[in-house]
Chain A
Amino acid sequence: MKKYIQVALGILTAIGGFVDIGDLVTNAQVGARFGTSLVWSTLVGLVGICLFAEMSGRVAAVSGRATFDLVRERLGPRFGMLNLVGSMLVTLLTYIAEIGGVALSLELVSSVQHVLIVPFVALVVWLVLWRAKFNLIENAFGILGLALIVFAVAVWQLAPDWGSLAHQAATAAKPHDELWSTYWYYAVALFGAAMTPYEVFFFSSGGVEEKWSTEDIGVMRANVFIGFPLGGLLSIAIVAAAWLTLGPLGVSVGSLDQVGLPVAVAMGKIGLAIVIVGFFAATFGAACETGLSVGYSISQYLGTQWGKFVRPDKATFFHLVVGLSTVIAAGVLLTGVDPIKVTEVSVVFSAVALPLTYFPILVVANDPDYMGEHVNGPVANALGTVMLVLVLVASIAAIPLMIWTGMGR
């Protein structure tokens, strides 16, 4: 019985934890402008993150090695260093965006300008990362993030023409007033939002934190293959809700209250209250995950002690890195930069940085030296290879598309 509760808890956490500021903003923007015509990109990203997370989780369970251990071992110190710098810049950017997202959520409640809230948020995030237990960080915000299910309820309340939504999704029918270049730009952005690299750093390091062994592979797979797709459904619900309410008005989403507007339209004050709780939980949880991921990755490259499974005084360097990145993130936000803009940039650069960590994990998941009998099977490899090509294409196309479209304008 305890085992089933554990599996259920893991799945709920995966659903609630799937959506972060990048998914919220990108899905709402895409929904308002392109309707469901880009759902395919979210689905591809979803398959990608499931493959990527399952492989890294399996490697962590079998060999006890997390992502940046493998990057260093299989790419060497020089290329590994470039890889680390690239991945960490993207993760730090995401960290900034998540902390900004928490501040924006609190601005919706308090009407206090978000810049004034930032130092307070940064302090609380740092305290949680320093003092709180790993399980609490992982589960509490994931479960609370389930509040975002209101988006699905909102879509149902809006009583849409399901047939036309499905038709638009199935035929990938771009609205006539949009350009193909922006269509492809947002396809890459959605892919990056679904497959943000930190998710895998956190997932594999979390596996080591929780001392997974080969016996835990089943539970891990349940979390990934049930939890993530259900989390992906939330993303699609955000798209549909935005299309139904904001699409006809021609609103282009540029703030967090506009992301929540469809729920307010469909369900009134109660809906709005729940969605703000969801925003807060999703961004706060993701802020913790990204903050830890910066510490995890740098420590893993250098081999110093990392993790919440030891007392902070046994992992001083790790906590120093986490603390410093929190200071940097708060400092950037205090310049008054718009967190939504940071988010938009972070999802695109997520797509750029993906191959850096996807490739070494694919290689190690095939290495009998690490994996013994648990190497990738033919299905994982066929899908993994197709995904490698897609990840490379998205990575190469991302920056040219960003410049060409002026970030999707």
Chain B
Amino acid sequence: MSQTTNRLADPFDAVLHLLDRQLIDVDGLLAGKVDDLELTEGPDGWRITAVLTGTTALLHRLGGRIGNRLVELHAQLRVTEPDRDVPWRIPITQVSYVDSAVHLDRARKGVLHHNHVGRRLGRLTGMRVLESGRCVGRVIDVHVVPASGRLVLESLVVGRGGPGSYLGYDRNEEKGPWLVRAIVRAWHRGTRTVPLSRAAIDWDAREVNL
């Protein structure tokens, strides 16, 4: 693996190219998965500020109500320990480059911190997208553009959701094999991109209004 390919240097799709990838430390040791991503709203809009990893982050990803219940149970297992329901965090600035894995710029020992605030990408994906009150699909991915060292969310990928959302056939017309592509693309036809400037995210109601 050479360092010449860095995914974060060019525009990318957060779910397709960053989420669920392997974390590798500077010594080549494995350090967990990108279980979720931390989103923070700043003057230039939403950006990715940290990798969230560990049991709590993963349990949240397992799905709305079940996920929340599992996070509660996980906290109950050891009530004496604070912040068990808060995911562990690695600032995105500590990521040196991304190829098929996410490479950290330091050793894995003690790399995690419990200071997560802001939003989770896992909560944004799956949100219903409403256009003048009518549901037009769900958020399945976000398109990210690097701008002067920041990873800024530029647009939402809106589609049907469900099985096959992570396969990437909706965004690559070439990728084979033919039969799989035809079936997945037919299922996910109508997937489109919506600029974030046109969308208002309601985090509590889990809805995006265009």
Contacts and interface: CB of A to CB of B under 8 A. Distances in A.
Interface in B1-59: 1, 16-17, 20-23, 29-33, 35, 53, 58
A69 B175 contact: no
Nearest to A359: B180
B30 A64 contact: no
B167 A388 contact: no
B27 to A, nearest CB: 9
B167 A363 contact: yes
B31, B33, B101, B168: residue with the most chain A Cβ atoms closer than 10 Å: B33
Given A76-B165, A79-B163, 12 more contacts: A63-B99, A65-B22, A72-B33, A75-B166, A76-B61, A77-B58, A80-B20, A81-B62, A305-B31, A366-B175, A367-B175, A368-B172
Contacts of B22: 65, 69, 303
Contact of B29 (A64, A72, A314): A314
Interface of A: 63-65, 69, 72-81, 299, 302-306, 310, 314, 362-363, 366-370, 375-376, 381-382, 384-385, 388
Contacts of A65: 22, 100-101
Interface of B: 1, 16-17, 20-23, 29-33, 35, 53, 58, 61-63, 99-101, 163, 165-168, 172, 174-180
B30 A303 contact: yes
A369 B100 CA distance: 8
Describe A's contact surface by its main secondary structure: helix
A385 B30 contact: no
Contacts of B101: 64-65
B61 A310 contact: no
B61 A368 contact: no
A77 B29 contact: no
Contacts, number: 85
A302 B166 contact: no
A395 B119 CA distance: 41
B177 A366 contact: yes
Given A64-B101, A303-B31, A73 B20 contact: yes
A306 B30 contact: yes
A118 B35 CA distance: 39
Contact of B33 (A302, A366, A375): A302
A77 B121 CA distance: 14
A109 B21 CA distance: 49
Given A65-B101, A72-B33, A78-B62, A362 B177 contact: yes
Given A362-B177, A376-B177, A384-B177, A370 B100 contact: yes
Nearest to A69: B22
5 contacts: A74-B168, A305-B31, A367-B168, A369-B16, A385-B177
A366 B176 contact: yes
Contacts of B53: 303
B23 A77 contact: no
A381 B178 contact: yes
Nearest to A318: B30
A173 to B, nearest CB: 33
B30 A304 contact: yes
A73 B21 contact: yes
B200 to A, nearest CB: 26
B28 to A, nearest CB: 9
